[in-house]
Amino acid sequence: MQAPRGTFDVLPEDAERRQVVEGHVRRILGAAGYRRIETPTFEATELFSRGVGEATDIVRKEMYTFDDGGGRSVTLRPEGTAPVCRAYIEHGMHKLPQPVKLWYLGSFYRREAPQRGRYRQFWQVGAEVIGSAEAATDAELILLLAELLEALGVRETRLRLSSLGTPETRAEYREELKQYLRAHEGRLSGEVRERIDINPMRAFDSGDPGTREVMAGAPTLLARLSGEDAEHFAQVRAMLDDADLRYELDPTLVRGLDYYTRTVFEFTSDALGAQSGVGGGGRYDRLMEQLEGPPTPASGWAAGIERMLLATGELPTAPDLVDLYVAIADQSAARRAFELARDARRAGLGAQLELAGRSLKGQLKQAGRLRSRYVAIIGAESEISLKDMESGDQRKLHPAAVIPTILRGSRLS
Ligand code: AMP
């Protein structure tokens, strides 16, 4: 049997690399006052159709939706922002001192065509700041993601940045863009033409040569921002400039989720192939209202764990420390060996017991593979031989002396 298409197993060596990622996330986001939140893997379908937007690819064709057996439609979460907002509303977090800064790390589900870097179950780390409209919030979030990518050694990153303004500006602009697209309909790809009314912005994403030519002359939303939105964007840019973070202004930046307002951004890595997006996000000032919560400005990002790992070079993982390997030289000693390993762990040591019935020679080899500092050899007699694997020295000890000797780390000779 095989795992379903587009899914993968996280094997122990993969899990160790992921643990390193999580360590950096905790350190970097923790230092900026973000606290972890985890929401359920499935939610009411309505949360995503309302929150992410009916017109998006995610809601139209990528969600794993099923009946929960009681006539309610539920969906495996395709993204984390709408669930975090749902939790914010449900737990009355607007009564807490604002903003509320949160991060999450978990698995998400989209029925996409699987390829390298694109899976049907994937993992994201995300950060959200809820209850602040400040430009500094957006700049902070972007800088934290940049710091995380740098800490992980994600190679050849680029940051694209834009602003979508308010929904009203966007609605006016959409009409203008639709008119423009209709005026050039003959040169657009069939797919883009069909979706002029549903989602004209996606025309900027098209790889079709004719469409690309048309879009090169299309009006941009960035040029239509209202005074306040333009000022907000200028502030975000100034803070990124002050931090010496390089970015490309990209007025065509379209993200696959409908809830964004004002700032949007995306980090890509040229070390990746077609699926080059490692993480992105933006401001979503109206989402909370769409979910029937109090009007609350907010901003956030999500980054793909697999994509970040694909785009890093060597990510050094700390090997598990084994202080003691308990070898069994005679079967009559099996229970004493078990007890010694247990006592050693209780004393805070990393201890492993022979569990595969190897010969004594095989056990010493195994202890070497695990890079254990010491091996305790327990045989029929009551004394235990303790071997220092680095120096090769070996000494017979009273059983009660084994753990203290290791704890002292003293040399055996
Ligand atoms: P999004 O939620 O679409 O803004 O995606 C944020 C990040 O999640 C992307 O930049 C990717 O790194 C990652 N991501 C999104 N979809 C997938 C997928 N199907 N497989 C793997 N990673 C994904």
pLDDT in tens, 244-279: 999 999 988 866 667 889 999 999 999 998 889 999
Domain identity same for 148 and 194: no
Backbone dihedral angles phi then psi of residue 82, each to the nearest 5 degrees: -60, -45
pLDDT, residue 101, reads 98
Domain identity same for 28 and 110: yes
Residue located via tokens 């203008």 = 176
Domain identity same for 349 and 374: yes
Q: How far is the CA of 46 from the centre of ligand 1 (A)?
A: 21
Domain identity same for 18 and 88: yes
**Which residue out of 105, 118, 269, 309 has the highest number of ligand 1 atoms within 8 Å of its CB and is therefore the one to mutate?**
118
pLDDT, residue 315, reads 79
Atom of ligand 1 nearest to the CA of 58: 3
Residue 25: inside a domain: yes
Nearest C-alpha to atom 18 of ligand 1 is from which residue? 118
Domain identity same for 350 and 283: no
Domain identity same for 157 and 252: yes
Residue 353: inside a domain: yes
Among 379, 145, 93, 172, which Cα is nearest to 267's?
145
Q: How far is the CA of 260 from the centre of ligand 1 (A)?
A: 16
Contact 171, 221 (CB under 8 A): no
- Per-residue pLDDT of 120-154, as tens digits, reads 999 999 999 999 999 999 999 999 999 999 999 99
Residue 140: inside a domain: yes
**Which residue out of 7, 159, 275, 284 has the highest number of ligand 1 atoms within 8 Å of its CB and is therefore the one to mutate?**
275
Residue 413: inside a domain: no
Alpha helices, DSSP H, located in 53-199: 57, 81-90, 135-151, 167-183, 190-194
CA distances to 198, 199, 341 from 56, rounded to whole Å, are 9, 8, 56
- Per-residue pLDDT of 166-191, as tens digits, reads 888 888 998 999 999 999 999 999 99
Position 117 pLDDT exceeds 70 = yes
Q: Range of 118's domain?
A: 12-165+239-312
* Last-in-domain residue among 312, 345, 369: 312
d(CA 310, CA 346): 38
Domain identity same for 115 and 60: yes
Could you give the 3-state DSSP secondary structure of residue 352? strand
Atom of ligand 1 nearest to the CA of 118: 20
Nearest C-alpha to atom 11 of ligand 1 is from which residue? 304
Nearest C-alpha to atom 14 of ligand 1 is from which residue? 304
The CATH number covering residue 126 comes to 3.30.930.10
Alpha helices, DSSP H, located in 70-134: 81-90
Q: How far is the CA of 279 from the centre of ligand 1 (A)?
A: 7
Element (H, E) at 44: strand 42-44
Q: Pocket around ligand 1: residues whose beta carbon is below 6 Å from it?
A: 79, 110, 112, 117-119, 122, 124, 255-256, 277-280, 302-304, 306-307
Q: How far is the CA of 123 from the centre of ligand 1 (A)?
A: 8
Residue 318: inside a domain: no
Backbone region of residue 71 per phi and psi (left: phi > 0; alpha: psi in -120 to 50; beta: other values): left
Domain identity same for 358 and 376: yes
Portion of the chain with pLDDT greater than 90, in percent:
85
Q: Which amino acid is at 225?
A: L
Q: Which amino acid is at 261?
A: T
Backbone dihedral angles phi then psi of residue 344, each to the nearest 5 degrees: -65, -40
d(CA 12, CA 271): 25
The model's pTM is 0.89
Domain identity same for 382 and 404: yes
Domain identity same for 42 and 97: yes
Nearest C-alpha to atom 10 of ligand 1 is from which residue? 279
Q: At what angle do helices 135-151 and 12-31 cross, to 10 degrees?
A: 140
Q: How far is the CA of 93 from the centre of ligand 1 (A)?
A: 27
d(CA 311, CA 325): 37
Position 412 pLDDT exceeds 60 = no
**Which residue out of 18, 105, 108 has the highest number of ligand 1 atoms within 8 Å of its CB and is therefore the one to mutate?**
108
d(CA 86, CA 51): 9
Residue 18 CA, distance from chain mean position: 9
What six digits make up the tokens of 407?
Answer: 């704890």
Q: What's the number of domains the chain is made of?
A: 3
pLDDT, residue 313, reads 81
- For residue 32, what pLDDT band results from cuts at 50, 70 and 90? very high
The CATH number covering residue 384 comes to 3.40.50.800
Domain identity same for 207 and 243: no
Domain identity same for 374 and 360: yes
- Per-residue pLDDT of 58-86, as tens digits, reads 998 999 999 999 999 999 999 999 999 99
Identify whether 99 is preceded by a cis peptide bond (ω within 30 of 0): yes
Residue with the bigger pLDDT between 292 and 57: it is 292
